[in-house]
Structure formats: structure tokens, C-alpha cells
Amino acid sequence: MAKILVNKSGPLHGEVKISGAKNSVLPLLAATIMTEDSCVIEDVPNLADVSVMKQILKKYGAEIDDSEKGVIKTQTKEIVSCEGDKDLVQEMRASIFTMGPLLARHGKVIMPMPGGCTIGKRPIDLHLKGFRALGAKVTEDIENETVTVEVGPSGLIGDVIYLDFPSVGATENILMAASMAKGTTIIENAAKEPEIIDLANQLNKMGAKIKSAGTDMIRIEGVEKLSGCVHEAIPDRIETGTFLLAAAITRGDILIKNAIPGHVRPIIAKLRECNVGIEATPEGIYVDARDRELIATDIKTLPYPGLPTDIQSPFMAFLTTVKGSSVVRETVFENRFMHVVELNRMGADIQTENREARVPGGKKLHGAKVRATDLRAGAAMVIAGLVADGTTEISEIYHIERGYEDLVNKLKSLGADIMKTDRD
């Protein structure tokens, strides 16, 4: 089983380029099956989740050309199947982003219940609520763990849909389905993440009529048909945050290129509270934690524009090393503290109660055998390993490879003592 070995490293220094955003690219790819024309998605990271999405789309009838690095060309002349492959869907929750597109183009979708990181119950009730509001019939087969969504004789019809929580995935699925519904759809309490704007921009290039994406009330005028597009994904804001934290925990200084400062404002704000120096320059985001006394701060995850839940675990790893203690509150997912057990193996001494973790600072972490229990927990282990005495051996690294492009080599180029090994 492949592992990542991290040795205590000095301050990171140099430049790193951020890849296209995983969480944008997955729905951007899903949206391409809404048209029979060819679509080109650019700045696509080389990730396991992207490979899964390509396989899923091929089963629906997409022809995919990925011969050029970072570019995926798709064309779905015809939908040949509307049934999600159980194994692929179990592998990646984002498979459900194909429900809206299939419903819009084909009128029917059969989806096994999704898998992905085990960070909470993660139901799909809000996605289904949206489809129902657009007039689709939803049949849940509890025994076979599948759900069938079908459009009635009059097709999808626009409506006002209030989301009880601003779910990213539900907003994206409804956005795609409503793009080809009759009349107007309004999504109230919509998610406002930059990935939603990216998807709306791509759909608008394809001929959709979406207004106010990025606010909590999105308005969609349905159109009959969508056409092809060329679209470049936004840079990955969680990868950006991870490198900000890698520089901060090692008390280094790095320039993060291809990053959008506005997308990581809450991460920058909280790191500044810890006395990390961060500056947006024309070349990128410059982070400088050299010769500074870094101090504790409390953090709380929230939907955008709050602090992203996906950065909570790497941030927690960083907080173990600063002066003073912090409280970390997770409000988005109910089970996202699995990394605490692993950080404690490294000497962190974190206590949790419900959705709150008390993180003592000033810890001298030590290397240990730890697991990447989910994608972002894996990033936390890498970050912690950079400053832990001795060697940190991280297993289950397929989780990390689902969402970080070339993390080991990028960190190595900044001076980290890190390697991937296939040896036991």
C-alpha cells in the first residue's frame, strides 16, 4: 500500500502554482453531458476524482479526449444510459452532480446512493427536494439503495425552491436541471461558493440564462437547448489554503501563484489573527511566517463566505503549534473530527465534545504512523508531519490523491522532506 513519509522539514521557501479546483471541475464536467456539442474544460487537475468522473460520463455515452495535459474535451452525442454505476458512484459522492444534467437532457436518472469521504451522514434530500419542485417524480428504493428521478409528461417546470441549508451540491444540481426547465426557477438560500459562480459561468457560455449566481438568490430562465463551450476552471481555493498553512506551520515564506485572494479571504483573515504575514501581490499571494510569534485564534467553519469546512483539519494541525489554545467549531458537517485521533497520535492532546475541539497550542509534535481518514484529514497529517520530530508515516493516501494534484512534489519543490513510497 502506498504511503507518504514526511520528515521534519525546515521553513518552506519558494513558489508554488495552484491547480484548477477539484470542486469546480467535477460539476463542470458533469454539465458537459447536457449538450450534444463538444465542450472543452481547461486547467483540469490530474486527480483520482476527475478520473472517476470521466469513467462515469463515458458510461452515459460521453466521448472523452484527455490527450492534452490539463484539458478535457467531451462530446455526448447521445445519452446511452441514465443509470449510475454502483461502484463508481460509491467511490465518489460528486457522482450525484450528474443527476441534474441527466434529468435535464434525458428526463430520467437512476442513481445508487453516493459514497465519498465519510464526513457525516451527507443525505441528498435537498437535491431531491429541488427535483420534486421542478415537477420530477422521485422514487426511493430503500432495499436496493437507489433513487429514480423521472420527468413527467410536461417536462421540468421552473419554481421557487428554498434550500433549508445552502448545500453546494444541491445548488449545483438544481442550477443544471433548471437551466433546461420551462419558465423561471429561483433558488432561495442558495450556496454562494466560487464554484457555483464558475458552474453558472460555464452554463451561461453554453446558452443558459442564469443571473445572480454567487448570491443567496439565483434566478434561472430555462432554455430549450444548450450548446458547446470552452471553459477554464477557477484555481483551487482549498489547495491555496493548504499551502498558506504549510508555509505558516513551518514558519516559512512562499509565493502562491494562480490563486485568487478573494476566494480565500476568511482563511487569510484567520491566519492574520494568528500573526501570519499575508500579502496579495500581482504575482500571487505571498505568505511570510518567518521570525514571528504566532498566536492562537478560535475558528468556526461556515458556508461561503465563511471559513471553509475543507480547511478545518489542516488549520487545526497548524493551531497545535502556536502560542495559546484555540477552539475549533465545525458547523457544516457533523462528523468531521476524525483527524483528531490521528493528530493526538502525534502528541497534539486535542479534546473534542460534539462539534467543538479544544486545541492546546505550543505542542512539539512527534512523528507517528497515522491514517489519512479522509481527503482533508490527509492534508492535515502532511502539514503536521512537516514540523513533527522524526518521521510521520501516512497510510490510506488514496484519499489525498483524490483531491490534491502532485502534493508531494509541490511540497518538495518548496524544500519539504517528503516522499511517496510503495513499500510497507
Residue numbers at the binding site for ligand UD1 (CB under 6 A): 23, 26, 93-94, 120-127, 165, 167-170, 308-310, 332-333
Shortest Å, Cβ 106 to ligand UD1: 22
The rounded distance, in Å, linking the Cα atoms of 16 and 237 is: 13
Shortest Å, Cβ 241 to ligand UD1: 12
Of 122 and 270, nearer to ligand UD1 (C-beta) is 122
CB atoms within 10 A of CB 424: 7
Give me the catalytic one of 39, 82, 117, 229. 117
Instruction: State the pairing for strand pair 229-232/253-257.
Output: unpaired
Which residue type, as a one-letter code, is found at position 378?
Answer: G
Of 122 and 263, nearer to ligand UD1 (C-beta) is 122
Q: What angle do CA 211, 78, 183 make, to 5 degrees?
A: 30
Residues 6 or more apart whose Cβ sits within 8 Å of residue 143: none
Shortest Å, Cβ 415 to ligand UD1: 29
Examine the residue annotation and report whether 229 is marked as an active-site residue of this protein. Answer: no
Of 356 and 393, nearer to ligand UD1 (C-beta) is 356
Of 168 and 181, nearer to ligand UD1 (C-beta) is 168
Shortest Å, Cβ 96 to ligand UD1: 8
Of 169 and 252, nearer to ligand UD1 (C-beta) is 169
**Residue nearest to ligand UD1 according to CB distances in the complex:** 169
Of 129 and 345, nearer to ligand UD1 (C-beta) is 129
Of 121 and 423, nearer to ligand UD1 (C-beta) is 121
Residues 6 or more apart whose Cβ sits within 8 Å of residue 412: 418, 419
Residue 208 C-alpha from the chain's centroid: 24
Exposed, middle or buried, 58 (CB in 10 Å: 0-12/13-18/19+)? Answer: middle
Shortest Å, Cβ 231 to ligand UD1: 17
Shortest Å, Cβ 287 to ligand UD1: 23
Shortest Å, Cβ 99 to ligand UD1: 11
Beta bridge partners of 182: 157
Enumerate the active-site residues.
117
